[in-house]
Amino acid sequence: MLARLVDGARVVTVDARTVFGAIEAVVELHPELRVHIFDEAGEVREHIACFHNGSAISRDHAVAPDDRVTVLQAVSGG
């Protein structure tokens, strides 16, 4: 679902020092993501999972150039 909001891109490249900074940078490029990523208080929604180079991490985790941050939206239902 999130990919369609970034014009179908599987990768969006940004400069950031933390996972949260990377998410904010992507949202700046694609403002329609904001309601799907952040809650009304500006916090990352609970159903959003973040990974750094394949490992689950917190939003404050530091990142370096060429690191990969993956943001996934959990899907549930019956």
pTM here is 0.79
- Residue 7: what pLDDT? 80
Residue 38 scores a pLDDT above 70: yes
**DSSP conformational letter for 10:** S
Domain housing 16: 3-73
| CA 4 vs CA 7, 11, 46, 54, 56: distances in Å | 5, 12, 21, 22, 23
Domain-located, residue 49: yes
In terms of DSSP bridges, do strands 48-52 and 55-56 run parallel, antiparallel, or are they unpaired? Answer: antiparallel
Number of structural domains (the chain) is 1
Domain-located, residue 78: no
- Residue 15: what pLDDT? 93
Q: The domain that contains 33 carries what CATH number? A: 3.10.20.30
Domain-located, residue 59: yes
Task: Dump pLDDT digits (tens) for 42-58.
Answer: 988 888 888 988 888 88
